[in-house]
Structure 1
Amino acid sequence: MKYIEIDEELYRFIAGKTERIGESASDILRRLLGLSVSDVQANETVHISQPGLETKPLSDEEQNALFIKAKEAVEKLVSTKHVQTSDMQTATTTTDAIDNQPAEAKLVVTAETETQTDNGADVVLSQTSNVEHSDIVNQSELAQQKGAVGRFMYLLENLAQLTGEDFSQVLQVQGKGRLYFARTKQELLDASKSANPKQIGEFNYWVSTNNNTAKKRTILNAVLSQLGCDAEKAKSISANI
């Protein structure tokens, strides 16, 4: 039996590959290197902490051959782990690439799709209008309106007056399978018989009013956001319904 000196890390690696009690380091290495274990004559286990001085060192050629075989065995054992790690890193890199897109790139994507406000209404984003949206709120006039429907219609009418042609963007504010705004009363009735459509002032726009107060606020919030209103300001204005 020959002995070789190995470092602590390699020793722990070999010991970690033990499959049965009493399996020697030689048996473990032969199994890892694909050599037959049964061909080796059993020897009494000798416990030593250092190799004997009479041990003949391996030649450079023998060391290289052993190193190559050990390297191939280790690479085979860890190849599956490397593949899994690589897949995880690829997925992470892909996600990071999307998250780290410049703002301009994200805006192009978002502008072509629907997004959802914090209150649950779908909005197609548009360019910001340079208007003071809070001007649509006159507390004394608002107090004269009849119920939530009256306040809802009052704020929409004022918003239509304030934004002019840009108000047409309200047609892009829709729910999932729901139509909130249209050019005609019949359009809303065709979408829902219970829509209870009402005309927005003298403008050629109609809105469904059969929603509860919370939903009316959500719709107005979405409209304000669509027309370029700041999110906090839109929420504050919508709370007046």
Structure 2
Amino acid sequence: MKTIEVDDELYSYIASHTKHIGESASDILRRMLKFSAASQPVTPVVKEVRAVQPVVEAKPVNPTKDKVRAMRELLLSDEYAEQKKAVNRFMLVLSTLYSLDNNAFAEATESLHGRTRVYFAADEQTLLKNGNQTKPKHVPGTPYWVITNTNTGRKCSMVEHIMQSMQFPAELIEKVCGTI
């Protein structure tokens, strides 16, 4: 398996043709190009891509597109696809959002709470004080804890609020929420 770099516009186009969670970029391209593994050797294509690679690296970096790309990569990743439970996908999304911009994540979670519940906190005890059945879990790679005994719709609402606050495009927010 070789790694190639593509510009953000092309990546978005390829990702928009995803048929199911966990489908690899190779599978998407094979389907789009009506290309089977046996029809041509892979080596000539790799040589062409390597010639293009320096041009892609010379482009200026756009942080907004990088955030979008990172979220799309999460949705296409094997790790995400292997998650059988909504709570595990929820935790992966939260970890990724935090890693992209921890300050924006912090701002978004401060204003995120229910009528009687706190959804995010720096420690488990704060969440337990607001309800014994909250099932707090630590968000991997972050200093945050989150309640997890909410229904999937509420988890999606939390992710939607955070992503909107972090200024992600609406179509990506919808796609992420649709996979939780």
Shorter-chain TM-score above 0.5: yes
Note the C-alpha offset of 1:134: 5.0
* Contact 1:185–1:197 (CA under 8 A) maintained in structure 2: yes
* Correspondence for 2:104: 166
Q: Secondary structure at the match of 1:194?
A: coil
Q: Percent identity?
A: 30
Q: Would you identify which runs of 4 or more consecutive aligned residues in structure 1 move more than 4 Å? A: none
Q: Which has the higher strand share?
A: 1
Instruction: Give the Cα separation in 2 of the matches to 1:188 and 1:133.
Output: 30
Match of 1:222 among 150, 156, 161: 161
In 1, Cα distance between equivalents of 2:176 and 2:157: 11
Choose the corresponding residue for 2:129, options 184, 190, 197: 190
Normalised to the residue count of structure 2, the TM-score between the two structures is 0.57
CA distance in 2, matches of 1:222, 1:172: 9
The answer for the alignment partner of 1:121 in structure 2 is none
* Distance (Å, rounded) in 1 between the aligned partners of 2:114 and 2:68: 23
**8 A Cα contact 1:182 1:205, kept in partner:** yes
CA distance in 2, matches of 1:143, 1:240: 9
> Do the aligned residues in 2 keep the contact of 1:133 with 1:159 (CA within 8 Å)?
no
Write 1 or 2 for the structure with the bigger share of helix. Answer: 2
Alignment of 1:66-145 (within 5 A): 130=64, 132-136=67-71, 137-139=74-76, 140-145=78-83
Query: AA paired with 1:202?
Result: G
Aligned length: 113
> Contact between 1:195 and 1:208, CA under 8 Å: does it hold in 2?
yes
Q: Could you give the per-residue CA deviations for residues 17-46 of structure 1, whole angstroms, max 9, x where no partner exists?
A: xxxxxxxxxxxxxxxxxxxxxxxxxxxxxx
For the residue of structure 1 that corresponds to 2:133, the secondary structure is: coil
Aligned-pair Cα RMSD in Å: 1.8
Amino acid paired to 1:175: G
Contact 1:180–1:208 (8 Å) recurs in 2: yes
Uncovered stretches (5+) of structure 2, i.e. residues with no partner: 1-62
CA distance in 1, matches of 2:169, 2:75: 19
Unaligned runs of 5+ in 1: 1-128
Asked which structure has the greater RCO (Cα within 8 Å, sep 6+), the reply is: 2
Instruction: Provide the secondary structure at the position in 2 that maps to 1:177.
Output: coil
Q: Is the radius of gyration larger for structure 1 or structure 2?
A: 1
